[in-house]
A and B are shown apart, each in its own frame.
Chain A
Amino acid sequence: MAVCVAVIAKENYPLYIRSIPTENELKFHYMVHTSLDVVDEKISAMGKALVDQRELYLGLLYPTEDYKVYPSHQLCRYGYVTNSKVKFVMVVDSSNTALRDNEIRSMFRKLHNSYTDVMCNPFYNPGDRIHSRAFDSMVTSMMIQVC
């Protein structure tokens, strides 16, 4: 189950960030922010080569489970980057069920589709924070669905 979902702009500021439970919100913000180190590194390692075949899914960002941030739970951070360098970071609680890679992938794909819908909204100005009920409910569904 996803415990935190974040959309990060190309310039690395947050466009959308939501986490449960809300009392640890700040810690999740830090988690997402520090994940960008690895995301940046992975993106620059990919380089410009193989643009067509480029994998958007970045995989597990940090191998370590966080013991303390979210007591007695194991958290995994996954990353995904769109072609326009917008990043998705997801923190998943894997202490009860270990999620398989393709499950994470499909969650990211769903997120990407929903993000694309947001972008298609003529009233949305790219680069603004996302305030979308549809996007919100999709994120909510991801946060509850698996658990």
Chain B
Amino acid sequence: MSPTQWDFPVELCCRPMAFVTLTGLDVVYNAVHRAVWDAFCANRRADRVPISFKVLPGDHEYPKCRPKRTSYEWYIPKGILKTGWMNKHLNLVPALVVVFYELDWDEPQWKEKQSECATRVEIVRQSLQGRNTKVAVVLIQKKTPLPPGEDVTASERAAALCNACELSGKSLFVLPHTDHLVGYIIRLENAFYEHAQTYYYTEIRRVKSHKEFLNKTTHQLLFVRHQFKIAFFSELKQDTQNALKNYRTAYNLVHELRAHETNILEIKTMAGFINYKICRLCFQHNTPLDAIAQFRKHIDLCKKKIGSAELSFEHAAWMSKQFQAFGDLFDEAIKLGLTAIQTQNPGFYYQQAAYYAQERKQLAKSLCNHEASVTYPNPDPLETQTGVLDFYGQRSWRQGILSFDLSDPEKEKVGVLAIQLKERSVVHSEMIITLLSNAVAQFKKYKCPRMKSHLMVQMGEEYYYAKDYTKALKLLDYVMCDYRSEGWWTLLTSILTTALKCSYLMAQLKDYITYSLELLGRASTLKDDQKSRIEKNLINVLMNESPDPEPDCDVLAVKTAQKLWSDRISLAGSNVFTIGVQDFVPFVQCKAKFHAPSFHVDVPVRFDIYLKADCPHPIRFSKLCVSFNNQITSVDLVLGHETGRCVVLNWQGGGGDAASSQEALQASRSFKRRPRLPDNELHWDSIVIQASTMIISRVPNISVHLRHDPPALTNEMYCLVVTVESHEKTQIRDVKLTAGLKPGQDANLTQKTHMSLHGTELCDESYPALLTDIPVGDLHPGEKLEKMLYVRCGTVGSRMFLVYVSYLINTTIEDKEIVCKCHKDETVTIETVFPFDVAVKFVSTKFEHLERVYADIPFLLMTDLLSASPWALTIVSSELQLAPSMTPVDQLESQVDKVVLQTGESASECFCLRCPSVGNVEGGVATGHYIISWKRTSAMGNVPVISTVITLPHVIVENIPLHVNADLPSFGRVRESLPVKYHLQNKTNLVQDVEISVEPSDAFMFSGLKQIRLRILPGTEQEMLYNFYPLMAGYQQLPSLNVNLLRFPHFTNQLLRRFIPTSIFVKPQGRLVDDTSIAAA
């Protein structure tokens, strides 16, 4: 966009920098000069001093300085600020003119050169006549200078040169053209900067000095002008604090000016400029709140200063510009690091700017509606001699006239007319849209989605006014869903109405139909007469006719649209439109409902489709289609016929649109009692969409029985008999059985449970826990089938077993033969128990319990097998597998072969063993294993025998010093001699002193050594022979043998009693009956 009269001048918006001109540089043909110039102007980063440089010829004419005024008494200012002033001090009048001159200190022709340099300086001075601009000389030298003070020629010649050029020593510089050019340049420009600051300082002083000559009645304008100039010079001096202070003063002074319709534009223009500067500096000083406060004050002061009513659109334009400029400043500050918030961001200012632009448009529309016969005045009152105004904000036809009375009302009228006619050609919509879209971008950034939508609606409406219906529709369509999803129906209806107009004017069939559908629906807040009109139009469109125009449309646009519509009719093309309704709220509602949440395969599935029309007049539909897979995937409802136009309304799933879920929620919350309706009618709210149903398999008609004898015994092949009986009316096919551990139980059970179909061999680890899909063939009606399954449980505990029978059957439903798959399952919990408990104990040969056994001395191992099974068990055999450390004393054959044990019965075995001396073993000596082979007594012959292995306990072996054993008959007889031989074995490596005595007993007489002391050599044996003579019959105490070992006092008689018998059965003296008894005697 080209700048308009309302845009701020560039010189106001830029950052003022000290202006320095460089002369004597030939940047085109001289490479050295070019390099110097590049070093000045290229890569000016923020750390360089703020100077704007310009290369000018040495004889450049600077703007002439007007002669100094000695008195202001008769001076009457013609305006506040001249339009050229800012530019003059930014770009035309330098603070410093630098004369570059190539001259080395050892120049042979020094004199000539010196005077040439002086001449150049003089020429510059001439053209700056009357200005305070500083002049400086820079000598470009080929040689690197010596350190100061060392080069005597240099200092002499420098002094001479200064003298010749009338320069102070501070204004002469040397620029050696060496490697460090940029470094020298930076030092140079810092020095320039100081000179420039001094210049602006004196300028400020100069302007201030005028003040005392001013008086408040005639020089009000000058107060503002001077204050502005001081502030502006301060800015050039980079003294922003003072600049701000002075601008603030200037701002207050502007508002003290006497305002009248004739000068109000000038006052507002200047107020706007100064306000802009203040806000800009506040943002620069990082005091955004000050900027905002100033701006609000500015707006409050100015918004009522409308000025001429005939040109009130100018005020709106000015206001719009104020807001826009502030928005730009705010936005720029944010880009430099300021943080804005949701309720205070540039978006608001752009929004206000847009509102004023809209107001401008409306005012312009009402004020500039001249008839076509009114022509632009000639000569143009807006033309000036120079093409520009002398003062900011003045009228071109009365520049510099300060009188509040209109000297020439006719001229004024022509001028106003010219401005009004010019305003007609302004494209307002474009400006409004630009501002709105700026605001949209901001509100998007600061989390204001609704504000954003609102502004987008306005943008859409503005496009509509600008007759760009495509863009309007695009924007409106984009935001519609936001209002729809939040249920703001009033707003949605308003947007839809505009959208409908757009689609009508463009003859966009599908959009037109869609918006009509929604405007007729329940979300629309339109009155019934409007709805009737839209419905009528819709029906027309469906019949391939043109609709009536929408109300309040542009007449010309309607004409174009009517043409477009008639073209649409004649054009042959696709006239079928499919419209998905889930994203909007159409005037037909749909609810699909299955009768039941689930159906069996061989039963017809039933469902209802409910439709409800919300439009004011009846409407005819031509078709209804329902699509399925396992659920209703979509419902299509067709409006119109293929012959005309056809609209397919498509509901995904079982119906429902953008508003229906909230309605359903409200309906479900409601406790309202609905009035009774006739039987065939339903309340719409009470219908709940049920778009899916479960299709479940046909009810099986077979029986599955399980026969088994629980509990199962550990490790046995437990038999499960499955009986399947068909009750179907026809043959069933492909019967399959799945049986085994029900999945989903403890994982350890899976490891310890194994299934097999064969009971004749034992399962091992490789067998699965679940047998799947065992084919068992076909079954005729009433036929029965038995299948034996074997399960082996390795651990005790309860398990769930699953038996699942599936089959196929042909059935006829509604004259159609279908194959149904049916299944039936049974679950059973089986407990597994140990078949028997085994107890093992060690006893002495005298059947006395042993805590420990003695080396080399025989002992007995007794096993006790107690049946825990509720079923009779057969012990097939048992086996004792001895550890290497144990030796059997006699044969180890099983004593319980073929024994049948009922519940609670037990079977015991006894083995005589001996354990050689093994020294001291921690934890005892391993005994071996006891293996029992068994089966259920009831099991058939081919059922395998189960071997249960019992690990026998360890036993502690102890050495004893002396072992005594006795040889004596199994019984005695009264008055018959009973010979008893005691063997005493020394088990140690020592010679043993043994004291032996025999105590008398009442039941016996005896002969033999009654008391003796003897020695037994290591490893040898001593025999003691006694002859006992029983005197009484019965179980009699033997005369007790006492042994006393002198070396082993711990060897007690008590220990001894374990080895030797202490009593014997004595039979009474019998009669001699036969020879055998005689021989025995």
Q: Which of A25, A34, A64, A126 contacts B450 (CB 8 A)?
A: A34
Task: Indicate whether B343 reaches chain A with its CB closer than 8 angstroms.
Answer: yes
Q: Which of B352, B448, B454 contacts A64 (CB 8 A)?
A: B352
Q: In chain A, residues 19-66, which have Cβ atoms closer than 8 Å to a Cβ of chain B?
A: 25-26, 29-30, 33-34, 36-38, 41, 61-64
B344: chain A residues within 8 A (beta carbon): 63
A36: chain B residues within 8 A (beta carbon): 450
A67: chain B residues within 8 A (beta carbon): 303, 352, 355-356
A24 to B284, CA, bound (A): 41
Mark B661-700 against chain A: 1 for CB-CB distance below 8 A, else 0.
0100110011110000000000000000000000000000
Mark the stretch among A6-14, A80-88, A101-109, A131-139 that contacts chain B. A6-14
A11: chain B residues within 8 A (beta carbon): 486-487, 662
A26 to B447, CA, bound (A): 23
CB atoms of A33 and B355 under 8 A apart:
no
In this complex, the member of A37, A41, A69 whose beta carbon has the largest number of chain B beta carbons within 10 angstroms is A37
Mark the stretch among B16-24, B403-411, B488-496, B951-959 that contacts chain A. B488-496
Mark A115-133 against chain B: 1 for CB-CB distance below 8 A, else 0.
0000000110111100000
Task: Indicate whether A68 reaches chain B with its CB closer than 8 angstroms.
Answer: yes
Mark B420-463 against chain A: 1 for CB-CB distance below 8 A, else 0.
00000000000000000000000000011111001001000000
CB atoms of A37 and B356 under 8 A apart:
no
Task: Indicate whether B348 reaches chain A with its CB closer than 8 angstroms.
Answer: yes
CB atoms of B447 and A41 under 8 A apart:
yes
CB atoms of B348 and A64 under 8 A apart:
yes
Q: Which of A14, A17, A63, A125 contacts B671 (CB 8 A)?
A: A125
Q: In chain B, residues 478-523, which have Cβ atoms closer than 8 Å to a Cβ of chain A?
A: 483, 486-488, 490-491, 494
CB atoms of A37 and B665 under 8 A apart:
no
Q: Which of A25, A33, A125 contacts B454 (CB 8 A)?
A: A33
A62: chain B residues within 8 A (beta carbon): 343, 348
A34: chain B residues within 8 A (beta carbon): 448, 450-451, 454
A68: chain B residues within 8 A (beta carbon): 352, 355-356, 358-359
A61 to B344, CA, bound (A): 11
CB atoms of B486 and A26 under 8 A apart:
no
A125 to B344, CA, bound (A): 39
CB atoms of A125 and B670 under 8 A apart:
yes
The residue on B at minimum CB distance from A9 is B487
A128: chain B residues within 8 A (beta carbon): 666, 670
CB atoms of B494 and A127 under 8 A apart:
no
Q: Measured between C-beta atoms, what is the minimum distance from B939 to chain A in Å?
A: 71
A70 to B454, CA, bound (A): 17
Q: Measured between C-beta atoms, what is the minimum distance from A69 to chain B in Å?
A: 8
Task: Indicate whether B342 reaches chain A with its CB closer than 8 angstroms.
Answer: yes
The residue on A at minimum CB distance from B486 is A12
A127 to B665, CA, bound (A): 9
A69 to B355, CA, bound (A): 8
CB atoms of B491 and A29 under 8 A apart:
yes
CB atoms of B486 and A125 under 8 A apart:
no
B669: chain A residues within 8 A (beta carbon): 125-127
A19 to B449, CA, bound (A): 23
Q: Measured between C-beta atoms, what is the minimum distance from A60 to chain B in Å?
A: 9
CB atoms of B486 and A37 under 8 A apart:
no
Q: Measured between C-beta atoms, what is the minimum distance from A143 to chain B in Å?
A: 19
A13: chain B residues within 8 A (beta carbon): 486-488, 662
A33: chain B residues within 8 A (beta carbon): 450, 454, 483, 486, 488, 491
The residue on B at minimum CB distance from A125 is B670
In this complex, the member of A11, A33, A61 whose beta carbon has the largest number of chain B beta carbons within 10 angstroms is A33
CB atoms of A29 and B490 under 8 A apart:
yes
Q: Measured between C-beta atoms, what is the minimum distance from A96 to chain B in Å?
A: 15
A33 to B490, CA, bound (A): 11
Q: Measured between C-beta atoms, what is the minimum distance from B147 to chain A in Å?
A: 64
Q: In chain B, residues 794-848, which have Cβ atoms closer than 8 Å to a Cβ of chain A?
A: none
Known A11-B486, A13-B488; contact A30-B670, beta-carbon cutoff 8 A:
no
A44 to B840, CA, bound (A): 77
Q: In chain B, residues 1001-1015, which have Cβ atoms closer than 8 Å to a Cβ of chain A?
A: none
Tally of A-B Cβ pairs under 8 angstroms: 75
Q: Measured between C-beta atoms, what is the minimum distance from B720 to chain A in Å?
A: 60
Q: Which of A25, A26, A29, A37 contacts B451 (CB 8 A)?
A: A37
CB atoms of B488 and A41 under 8 A apart:
no
CB atoms of B666 and A125 under 8 A apart:
yes
A69 to B348, CA, bound (A): 13
The residue on B at minimum CB distance from A64 is B348
A123 to B670, CA, bound (A): 9
B356: chain A residues within 8 A (beta carbon): 67-68
A34 to B452, CA, bound (A): 8
B303: chain A residues within 8 A (beta carbon): 67
The residue on B at minimum CB distance from A14 is B488
A122 to B671, CA, bound (A): 9
Known A11-B486, A37-B342, A37-B451; contact A125-B494, beta-carbon cutoff 8 A:
no
The residue on A at minimum CB distance from B342 is A41
A62 to B345, CA, bound (A): 11
A125 to B667, CA, bound (A): 9
Q: Which of A26, A61, A64, A127 contacts B491 (CB 8 A)?
A: A26
A38 to B450, CA, bound (A): 10
The residue on A at minimum CB distance from B447 is A41
Q: In chain B, residues 286-314, which have Cβ atoms closer than 8 Å to a Cβ of chain A?
A: 303
CB atoms of B448 and A37 under 8 A apart:
yes
B487: chain A residues within 8 A (beta carbon): 11-14
Q: Measured between C-beta atoms, what is the minimum distance from B484 to chain A in Å?
A: 10
A26: chain B residues within 8 A (beta carbon): 490-491, 494
Q: Which of B343, B359, B670 contacts A38 (CB 8 A)?
A: B343
A12 to B485, CA, bound (A): 10
Q: Which of B359, B491, B666 contacts A30 (CB 8 A)?
A: B491
A69: chain B residues within 8 A (beta carbon): 355
A147 to B448, CA, bound (A): 32
CB atoms of A29 and B447 under 8 A apart:
no
The residue on B at minimum CB distance from A35 is B450
A14 to B488, CA, bound (A): 7
Q: Measured between C-beta atoms, what is the minimum distance from A3 to chain B in Å?
A: 17
A25 to B303, CA, bound (A): 25
A64: chain B residues within 8 A (beta carbon): 348, 352
A144 to B666, CA, bound (A): 34
A43 to B303, CA, bound (A): 35
A134 to B488, CA, bound (A): 24
Known A34-B450, A67-B352; contact A127-B488, beta-carbon cutoff 8 A:
no
Q: In chain B, residues 328-358, which have Cβ atoms closer than 8 Å to a Cβ of chain A?
A: 342-344, 348, 352, 355-356, 358
Q: Measured between C-beta atoms, what is the minimum distance from B315 to chain A in Å?
A: 12
A17 to B491, CA, bound (A): 12
CB atoms of A37 and B450 under 8 A apart:
yes
CB atoms of B666 and A127 under 8 A apart:
yes
A61 to B450, CA, bound (A): 14
The residue on B at minimum CB distance from A26 is B494
CB atoms of B672 and A125 under 8 A apart:
yes
Mark B747-772 against chain A: 1 for CB-CB distance below 8 A, else 0.
00000000000000000000000000
Q: Measured between C-beta atoms, what is the minimum distance from B669 to chain A in Å?
A: 6
A33 to B489, CA, bound (A): 12
B451: chain A residues within 8 A (beta carbon): 34, 37
A29 to B525, CA, bound (A): 13
Task: Please name 22 pairs of A and B residues whose Cβ atoms are closer than 8 Å in the assembled complex, sorted by A.
Answer: A13-B486, A13-B662, A25-B490, A26-B491, A30-B457, A33-B486, A33-B488, A34-B450, A37-B447, A37-B451, A41-B342, A41-B447, A62-B343, A62-B348, A64-B348, A67-B303, A68-B358, A68-B359, A69-B355, A125-B669, A127-B669, A128-B666
Apart from the given pairs A14-B488, A29-B488, 12 other A-B contacts in the complex at a CB distance below 8 Å: A26-B490, A33-B450, A34-B448, A37-B448, A37-B451, A38-B448, A63-B343, A67-B352, A122-B671, A125-B671, A125-B672, A128-B670
User: Which 8 residue pairs of A and B lie closest in terms of their CB atoms, listed nearest first?
Assistant: A13-B487, A68-B355, A37-B448, A125-B670, A34-B451, A34-B450, A37-B450, A12-B486
Chain B residues near A (Cβ < 8 Å) = 303, 342-344, 348, 352, 355-356, 358-359, 447-451, 454, 457, 483, 486-488, 490-491, 494, 662, 665-666, 669-672
